[in-house]
A = this chain, B = another copy of it.
Amino acid sequence: MKQAKTYQVVGRPEARLDGEEKVTGKAVYTVDVQLPGMAHGKVLRSPYPHARLACVDGSKAEKLPGVYAVITRDDQRRLGMFGAAYKDQTIVAVDKVRYVGDPVAAVAAVDDATAEAALNSIDVEYEELPAVTSIEEALAPQAPLVHEGVSSGGELMGQHYETPKEFSGTNLCYRFSYAKGNIEAGFEKADYIFEDTFSFPRVQHFSMEPHATVAHVDGDRITLWAATQEPFTLREHLGEIFRVPLNKVRIIVPYVGGAYGGKLAVKTEPLAVALAFKARRPVRLAHSIEESFKTVTRHPARVRIKSGVTKDGKLVARQCLIHMETGAYADAGPRVTQKAGYRCFGPYRIPHVKTDAYTVYTNTVPAGAYRGFGTLQVTWAYESQMDIIAEKLALDPLELRLKNLLKKGELYTPGDTPVDCDLKEGLLRAAKEIGWNKQDHKPNRGKGLACCMKDGGGTYKVASAAVKMNSDGSIILLTGTVEIGQGARTALSQIVAEELGVPLSHITVAQLDTDVTPYDVNTNASSSTVVMGLSVQRAAQHLKRQLVRHAAKALKTPADRLTLKQGRIEGGKGQRISFEALMHKVFLSKAGEIVGRGVYQDVKSKRAALGSPTTFWEISWGGAEVEVDRDTGEVKLIRYVSLADVGKAIHPVLCEGQDEGGVMNAIGHSLLEEMIYKDGQLLNPNLVDYRVPTFSHLPLGFETILVENQNGPGPFGAKGTGEGGLLPVAPAIGNALYRATGVRLYDLPLTPERVWRALRAKNQS
């Protein structure tokens, strides 16, 4: 392990910059924004999973006192269609509704109650159509089609997506295929072949803050306050929908109360803008929790994984067939599918691989990006199967993994970034921490391990930042990274503070506003510390170079002898000048500012399977110990150990928070969470019926270990973190459950009912 350098600010658990505001309730979120004359928006949603719209008539509602605007499909006419990958969405349904919750109309009125009442005055005639609400139904021959036409293609984060023509007349809208080696030859070399199918449930992001937008339109200029993770990309979408250039769309992002991918791309925003256009006044459109459930979810998935192994336990071939259910509209589905397809081989050396991943439309809520982005669905499969293989080969699951793990520097696929971490070291540490070799053989107890890897940073990042020194030496950071609760403002400010040799308190972060904040593509994929971190670091270094150049003149000392310390620039021999004094020298008055700018841009490479090599590998290990209540089927987490390869923790407590939060998040889909559809109706879109983890679900023993090898591509050797913590949770628990009970489950979540039924079935067999 590379020895850590000592830093003044980086690596220290500084108080969060947004902490005081948040704990005192002063932090401003989008719903707190009030504009003069602001109207309140409400959305009328389809009660049917699939129906032709015979009539939508808002004329009665329009005449109600206090109603400022009613949006129906007539208003879509002048607007562009939209969607993260495909342009398959409209602000309200036009020809037919495609899921329960599909927006049919919207109202802006003087208050919420009036808007609610107006919704009831909108006449809608539905002609019900047969619906498909699962992958199986959607893929059945003669299945009803969610979209009759082929979805048109689009660009998403620098890549083009398009529905293959041969999918016409099916509910498929995208396929990702990849192969390396010769899959048939691979399986021929195998002594054993394992073929298993796993499923992953539909789960919701459940951000503390549901989706919210305040829109204000003046002439052709649109101003938005929005709870979004990607204001600059949202700006582009809105420009296309409303047919205005980017400089006519201004998006201001207050604090965002959790996002997890659910606030990427386009959600409530265009409907809020359309209402504001028509109402000729600002409009707030804020979702209830239930509406957010009807806006976006994670992709339910079916993963068939076939692995060929030699008798001494070497993986030689793996073939995956993946179906990702993207609901009624594609959203980021094609991209999530691509990532699931690409990531399904796991952190293992497998000479022959092949994957086919499909995106499937159904008459359910659209599924989009969600923390982990297609990876959880496949880690659940491949890390569960590793234990199945180990048992068959009578190998210790740890040993089987160690035999096959990629080495640092090895290639996952040709053209991608070499593996940047010692996977073995981490796995051994996880095993040690969970007490793998000290199996204490208590009844109904078992331990499980998992080791997971995803290409971090998404694909094709462009980011920039500015660091500004005022005439008194105080510093303002301009960054497009959204503070979604992850603590980005604090960590990014630490990078600036470290570079400029000032305490963290000298830095403030400016409000995010697309008109003036330097461009950043988005806040996602555990990328901000690396991608924005590098932009910010380069901006600080650019500022530093300018300061040093001025100081060299002022102090008559060569620039290379100058260092920045505590708000001063010092030469070796007692020369020193404070930032403030230097600024006054440069501007000959108490005036002016010096601005440093930094830019980060990924590379593209035709050799890389996904078009550009990953920015870094996000790697995580998990060890779980469970105790199973055989009477109720409840799986209790006795201990959970999570290891995250963070390269260098800029803020260790925030990294731990990300990792712990990730584990808790994953405990949800591992043990509790599942959106349940019956007859096309979502049965549990609320806190009472949909169970997210609470403090009572915390593992009794819970530990996060940060692996710091100082070798990440980010500032000071940092890598990104935030999603890694989730990846091993489900398979580690599933494997522990098996070792505790001998019961192997293939479908998440591992609810008491499901476990109890499996235990009973096993006892009966």
**Chain A residues within 8 Å of B, Cβ to Cβ:** 20-21, 26, 32, 34-36, 155, 157-158, 218-219, 221, 232, 236, 239, 245-248, 250, 460, 462, 464, 470-476, 478, 506-508, 510-511, 513, 515-519, 521, 587-593, 595, 597, 601, 604
Q: Besides the contacts A34-B36, A478-B515, what 7 more A-B pairs have beta carbons closer than 8 Å? A: A26-B219, A155-B589, A158-B591, A245-B473, A246-B474, A462-B589, A513-B516
Closest to A611 in B: B588
Q: How far is the CA of A508 from the CA of B462 in the complex (A)?
A: 23
7 cross-chain pairs, A with B, having the tightest CB-CB distances, nearest first: A158-B589, A245-B474, A247-B474, A246-B470, A516-B516, A462-B591, A510-B515
Closest to A478 in B: B516
A199 to chain B, nearest CB (A): 34
Given A21-B218, A34-B36, A474-B248, A595 and B597 contact (CB-CB distance below 8 Å): yes
Closest to A232 in B: B591
Contact B595 A219 (CB under 8 A): no
Contact B516 A590 (CB under 8 A): no
Contact B474 A236 (CB under 8 A): no
Q: Which residues of B contact A460 (CB under 8 A)?
A: 588-589, 591
Q: How far is the CA of A476 from the CA of B516 in the complex (A)?
A: 8
Which of A35, A507, A515, A587 is the most central at the interface, judged by chain B CB atoms within 10 Å of its CB? A515
Given A246-B472, A519-B592, A593-B519, A587 and B462 contact (CB-CB distance below 8 Å): yes
Contact B464 A518 (CB under 8 A): no
A468 to chain B, nearest CB (A): 8
Q: Which residues of B contact A473 (CB under 8 A)?
A: 245
Q: How far is the CA of A246 from the CA of B590 in the complex (A)?
A: 11
Contact A247 B155 (CB under 8 A): no
Q: Which residues of B contact A247 (CB under 8 A)?
A: 470, 474-476, 506-508
Contact B245 A470 (CB under 8 A): yes
Q: How far is the CA of A50 from the CA of B507 in the complex (A)?
A: 45
Could you list 14 A-B pairs, sorted by A, with CB under 8 Å? A26-B219, A34-B34, A155-B589, A158-B588, A247-B474, A247-B475, A248-B508, A462-B589, A464-B593, A511-B513, A513-B513, A518-B593, A587-B601, A595-B597
Partner among B517, B591, B597 whose Cβ is within 8 Å of the Cβ of A516:
B517
A688 to chain B, nearest CB (A): 30
A186 to chain B, nearest CB (A): 35
Q: Which residues of B contact A592 (CB under 8 A)?
A: 462, 464, 519, 601
Q: How far is the CA of A640 from the CA of B521 in the complex (A)?
A: 58
A205 to chain B, nearest CB (A): 25
Contact B26 A218 (CB under 8 A): yes
Q: Which residues of B contact A35 (CB under 8 A)?
A: 34
Q: How far is the CA of A511 from the CA of B516 in the complex (A)?
A: 8
Q: How far is the CA of A591 from the CA of B460 in the complex (A)?
A: 10
Contact B591 A604 (CB under 8 A): no
Closest to A589 in B: B158
Q: How far is the CA of A660 from the CA of B589 in the complex (A)?
A: 35
Closest to A521 in B: B591
A672 to chain B, nearest CB (A): 36
A442 to chain B, nearest CB (A): 51
Q: Which residues of B contact A513 (CB under 8 A)?
A: 510-511, 513, 516
Which of A462, A518, A591 is the most central at the interface, judged by chain B CB atoms within 10 Å of its CB? A591
Q: How far is the CA of A245 from the CA of B472 in the complex (A)?
A: 7
Contact A515 B476 (CB under 8 A): yes
Q: Which residues of B contact A464 (CB under 8 A)?
A: 592-593
Partner among B32, B250, B507, B515 whose Cβ is within 8 Å of the Cβ of A36:
B32
Q: How far is the CA of A593 from the CA of B597 in the complex (A)?
A: 12
Given A510-B515, A516-B516, A157 and B589 contact (CB-CB distance below 8 Å): yes
Contact B506 A590 (CB under 8 A): no
Q: How far is the CA of A476 from the CA of B517 in the complex (A)?
A: 11
A159 to chain B, nearest CB (A): 8
Q: How far is the CA of A236 from the CA of B601 in the complex (A)?
A: 36
Q: How far is the CA of A760 from the CA of B21 in the complex (A)?
A: 72
A158 to chain B, nearest CB (A): 3
Q: How far is the CA of A661 from the CA of B667 in the complex (A)?
A: 70
Given A246-B474, A462-B591, A592-B464, A516 and B510 contact (CB-CB distance below 8 Å): yes
A156 to chain B, nearest CB (A): 9
Q: Which residues of B contact A475 (CB under 8 A)?
A: 247
Closest to A510 in B: B515
A40 to chain B, nearest CB (A): 15
Q: Which residues of B contact A510 (CB under 8 A)?
A: 250, 513, 515-516
Contact A508 B472 (CB under 8 A): no
Q: How far is the CA of A158 from the CA of B588 in the complex (A)?
A: 7
Q: Which residues of B contact A511 (CB under 8 A)?
A: 513, 515-516
